[in-house]
Every structure is written in C-alpha cells, then in structure tokens.
Amino acid sequence: MADTPEPIEPAANPELVGHEAAERQFLDAWNSGRLAHAWLIAGPRGIGKATLAYRIARFALAGGGPAAGGLFGPAVAESLALAPDHPVFRRVAAQSHADLRVLQREWIEDRRGDRMEGEIPVERVRKIGEFLSLTPAEGGWRMVIVDAADDLNRHGANAILKLLEEPPRAALMILVSHSPDRLLPTIRSRCRRLTLRPLSDESVTSLLVRRRPELEEGDARAVARLAEGSIGRALSLALGEGLALYREMITLMGNLPRIDIPALHGFADRVGGDEEKSRTLEALFLRWLAIAAGPGRAAGEAVAGEGALGRRLLAAAGVERWLDLWDRTVKGFERAESVNLDRKQVILNTFLSLERALRP
C-alpha cells in the first residue's frame, strides 16, 4: 500500500473547494478598488476558513496574483489562486514572509510537558500593532491572520478592536472564527464578513478519497456523512479510525434496552485508554443522540440502521427523557474534561445512562 499523504496545512494548501462564492466576494471588492481593511471568515471548524485566509494573504502579498498588471494598466483578477512554486506561496507556506504575521495558539513546554496554549496571549496581539505601523518590506501590504479570533481573551479582543478602529495604511487583517456570535459586536461590525457553509458530502468524499487513498469509496462516503461538511473532521476521523468506532458503537447499542455488559467493558477498555479515540467517541455519541433519531435520516446514514435504531430508542424513552439524557451526557463529558476523570469510566457511565433512560 502506498504511504498515506500527510495532511496539508492551510498555509501550504493551494486548493479551495466549495467556497467559490466567498472567493468571488473578495475578488469583487479587490477589483472595485474598495477593499475593506478587515475581513471576518466565519463558519464551522474544518471547512476551509484558514485555507481561504492564507489564499487571500498570498494573493494580496503577490500584488493581486501573477497577472497583477500589464501594458494597459491593472488586470482584473479572476482567481485568488497562486501557483505553489511562486516565491510568495513558498514564503507564506514557510511562515517566512516579512509582511505577514499569524496570530494563533502555539505549542509550549512546561512542567506538564508539551501542550497547546489555552488562548492567544495579549502580549502577542499588542506586538501586531508595532508590526502594522512599519512600512511594508516589499512595498505592498502588511497582512495579519488571526486563527482563530475565538482564542482571544477579553484583553486580546480589545487589543484587536483598537487595531480595527484605527487601521494603519496598507494593512489588511483577516480574522477566522468558528463562533462569530461570541466575538465582540464591535469587532464584527468593523469587518467585512465572509460566511462559509459546510461542504457537501460529495465534496468531502472527493477530497477524502484523494487525501486518504487507502479508504474504500463506500467508507469515504460514510466518513463524509459523519463529518457533516467538514473536511478537517473527515480527515481526523479517517486517521483515528472514527468510522470503525461508530460502527462498533451502533452494534453495541443494537440490543438496547438491554446492553451486553462484558462487551461494553471490553469496548471501554480499548477506547478509554486512548485519549484521541475517547474524544472521537464522545463527539460521535453526541452526533448520534442529536440527529440519528430525527425524521428522514435514513438516506444520509453513515452506518446502515443507525436511524432506525435511534427512532426505536427515542420512541421507547420519550422526548423529555431523551432531552434529559442529552443534557446529562453533555455535562458529563464537560465535567470529565475539566477534572480529568478516568475515560473508561466516562464511557461506561454514558452507555449505562442510556440503558437506564430506556427502562420502563
């Protein structure tokens, strides 16, 4: 079998799929000469927001792409695409372009080992003001990408707001947000918004087959349905055996309201010892609780019979008991994460709570 390709980081990804309308909006503003100084790219995780942000940055830093001008004046740009061998593309991918800064959480090392920062430090945000006040090193734009604005604390958000209120000349800021409604209204109001929608199952399947050629096409379609429009999530599920976990979960629940306790313990043993698998299972369980029992889901099932199973169990439990189960499950996962509970026990509690909810 051929080696599985490594995931492409947004800064090095030359391809944007499914967001042609958003690209067109930026190009229209660019070609009109009325370009907003700040853009907010909003939408669910993993659908291509950061990829679009870097695509815009490369395009602007290259002066509008390879056809930026000519004998008869500026050319009308038709695409944000820049060839991977273009010098600007290579420097942006390497995070070495003098006129680009990226604000994001970073990996740090402390007494607890390597870990990701919980938020973007305000000190790092304030340095962006100094960067933007400088003359562009290459005579064009100064670019800032904030990925993601959701990771700013109150002080960091206020520091960004100050930059948006007093934008330096020849500066362009791009804010990525998974939950734009949680941002300060004053930040949202000072940005031109590009809203990206989840990708179609067909688009996710096509991308997944190309990036994970070891997957059979049927499995790729199933993973795409589980990912609900997010190619980032689909790749994570494919890499983390998410489809196999989901199939085993559905099989385990097939005999409810009775559950095979030895099989449940074996499942919890295998999954609970792996943090990534545990988190994947939690997300898949919540997905199933939320939508598998809904009407009309059979056509979009990831695993055959998941919808029928959900409807049968919903009918047995009743809507009020089902909603209570959802609420307790969400709170249980949140508490487990905050106090670092044993993940095997969390899995056992989750499935046994479902069994109890179905008792007459």
Structure confidence at residue 154 as a pLDDT band (50, 70, 90) = very high
Calculate ∠ Cα 138-141-142, nearest 5°.
Answer: 95
Q: 204 near 224, Cβ under 8 Å?
A: yes
Can you tell me the mean pLDDT for 167-183?
95
| Domain at 10-195, CATH homologous superfamily | P-loop containing nucleotide triphosphate hydrolases (3.40.50.300)
Residue 135: what are its φ and ψ, rounded to 5°? -70, 135
pLDDT given at position 67: 45
- Report residue 295's pLDDT band, with 50, 70 and 90 as the boundaries: low
At 327, phi and psi to the nearest 5?
A: -60, -45
Average pLDDT over residues 164-183: 94
Inter-residue contact 241 to 277 (CB < 8 Å): yes
What pLDDT is attached to residue 340?
77
Sorted by where each begins, the domain ranges of the chain are 10-195, 199-239, 242-357
Instruction: Kindly indicate the confidence band of residue 360, based on its pLDDT and cuts at 50, 70 and 90.
Output: confident
**Mean pLDDT over residues 237-246, rounded?**
92
208 pLDDT exceeds 70? yes
Average pLDDT, the chain: 89
What is the amino acid identity at position 46?
Answer: G
Token representation of residue 128:
């962006």
Cis peptide before 148 (omega within 30 of 0): yes
Torsional class of 305: left (φ above 0), alpha (ψ -120 to 50), beta (otherwise)? left
Per-residue pLDDT, averaged over 340-357, amounts to 90
pLDDT of 10 strictly over 90 = yes
Who contacts 271 (Cβ-Cβ below 8 Å, separation ≥6)?
245, 277, 278, 281, 343, 344, 347
Mean pLDDT of 212-224: 93
pLDDT at 352: 93
Q: State the greatest distance between any 2 C-alpha atoms of the chain, in Å, as a whole number.
A: 81
3-state secondary structure of 39: strand
Q: Which of 64, 61, 211 is nearest to 144 (CA)?
A: 61
pLDDT at 318: 87
Name the residue among 198, 135, 143 with its Cα closest to residue 175.
143
Place of tokens 């291509």: 48
Rounded to an integer, the average pLDDT of 328-350 is 86
Q: What is the pLDDT of residues 91-140, one digit of tens each?
A: 999 999 999 999 999 988 766 667 788 899 999 999 999 999 999 998 89
CB count in 10 Å sphere of residue 359: 10
Of 144, 141, 135, 148, nearest to 173 by C-alpha is: 144
Quote the pLDDT of residue 70: 40
3-state SS class at 103: strand
The average pLDDT across 14-34 equals 94
pLDDT at 3: 53
The answer, yes or no, to whether residue 36 has pLDDT greater than 90, is: yes
Q: Answer with the residue of higher pLDDT: 72 or 229.
A: 229
pLDDT score of 52 more than 50: yes
In tens, the pLDDT along 53-106 reads: 999 999 999 988 554 444 334 567 889 999 999 999 999 999 999 999 999 999
pLDDT score of 299:
52
- What pLDDT, on the 0 to 100 scale, is given for residue 72? 39
Q: Select, from the ranges 172-176, 275-279, 313-317, the one with the highest average predicted confidence (pLDDT).
A: 172-176
